[in-house]
């Protein structure tokens, strides 16, 4: 059976990628990273519940807390405030320097070890916070580097099925493919109820609104319409 490593944060995008990978007939190795992010325990819970729900047997959880030692981002540095005034054109301080590059490199090592031919990641370029390591160009470039730096018998293809979709498209596809949206977690700030104000919450809520659907998770701030 063909095998794929799926990088899964517990969020809506990576969950849909895993669902799509299973529908394409891949045996999934689910890979989750802990890096001392603010919502680490909530993301880990989401990851485990999602894997159970969609029938993923092999789960790999890795401690990459050195990312928080590097710092320079509001997800791991509690002295920095997370932006809550809307999505802007600049790269926000929730960007973790080269996080996807680190994640993909580790995932590639796991894929080579497992004999996996595919690696799935839920990057979104078109409708996102503008993180530079979420671009189509970057993923294709690192894919080339992976296949140059692994054994001749290793040939890994990185799949990024959401990269050019809008959040509304992702919501619609999640509903069409029975992705367990109710188990996913996107908030950067809280672990009990999603804040509704950070970039990730705003993008998610906007996607549901444009898709004409109701988000099944709970939010602290939904008294008025939150705009991007």
Residue 10 annotated as part of some ligand binding site: yes
Residue 39 CB neighbours (<10 A) = 21
Q: Residue 25, annotated ligand binder?
A: no
Is 15 annotated to bind a ligand? Reply is: yes
User: Is 68 among the annotated ligand-binding positions?
Assistant: no
Q: Which two tokens stand for residue 208?
A: 């549901």
Q: Is 134 annotated as a binding residue?
A: no
Q: What pairs with residue 142 in β-bridges?
A: none
Tell me the torsion sign for CA atoms 15, 17, 20, 26.
negative
Q: Where are the beta strands (DSSP E) in 53-192?
A: 58-63, 118-120, 157-159
> Is residue 39 marked as binding?
no
Does 195 belong to an annotated binding site?
yes
Q: Is 76 annotated as a binding residue?
A: no
Is 79 annotated in a binding site? The answer is no
Is 135 known as a binding-site position?
A: no
Q: Which of 108, 123, 112 is nearest to 13 (CA)?
A: 123
CA dist 97 and 116 (Å) reads: 27
In whole angstroms, what is the distance from residue 205 CA to residue 157 CA? 31
Instruction: List Cβ neighbours of 75 (8 Å cut-off, separation of 6 or more).
Output: 37, 38, 82, 94, 96, 188
122 is in an annotated binding site: no
Say whether 65 counts as a known binding-site residue: no
Core vs surface per residue 48-62: b (16+ CB within 10 A) or e = bbbbeebebeeeeee
With tokens 């188990």, the residue in question is 183
The verdict on whether residue 12 carries a ligand-binding annotation is yes
Residues of each annotated binding site for Zn(2+): 187, 195, 198, 201
Residues of each annotated binding site for ATP: 8-18
Residues of each annotated binding site: 8-18, 187, 195, 198, 201
């Amino acid at each position: 059976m063909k095998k794929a490593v799926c990088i899964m944060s517990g969020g809506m995008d990576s969950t849909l990628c895993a669902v799509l990978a299973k529908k394409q007939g891949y045996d999934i190795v689910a890979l989750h990273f802990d890096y001392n992010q603010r919502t680490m325990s909530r993301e880990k819970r989401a990851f485990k519940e999602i894997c159970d729900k969609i029938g993923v047997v092999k789960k790999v959880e890795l401690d990459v807390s050195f990312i928080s030692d590097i710092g320079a981002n509001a997800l791991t540095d509690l002295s920095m405030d997370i932006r809550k005034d809307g999505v802007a054109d600049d790269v926000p301080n929730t960007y973790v320097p080269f996080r996807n590059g680190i994640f993909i490199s580790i995932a590639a090592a796991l894929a080579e070890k497992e004999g996996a031919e595919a690696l799935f990641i839920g990057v979104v370029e078109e409708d996102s916070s503008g993180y530079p390591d979420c671009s189509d160009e970057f993923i294709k470039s690192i894919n080339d580097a992976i296949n140059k730096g692994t054994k001749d018998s290793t040939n890994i293809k990185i799949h990024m099925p959401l990269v050019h979709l809008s959040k509304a498209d992702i919501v619609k596809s999640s509903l069409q493919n029975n992705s367990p949206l109710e188990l996913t977690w996107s908030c950067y700030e809280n672990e009990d109820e999603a804040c509704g104000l950070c970039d990730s919450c705003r993008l998610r809520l906007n996607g549901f609104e444009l898709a004409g659907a109701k988000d099944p998770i709970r939010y602290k701030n939904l008294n008025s319409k939150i705009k991007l």
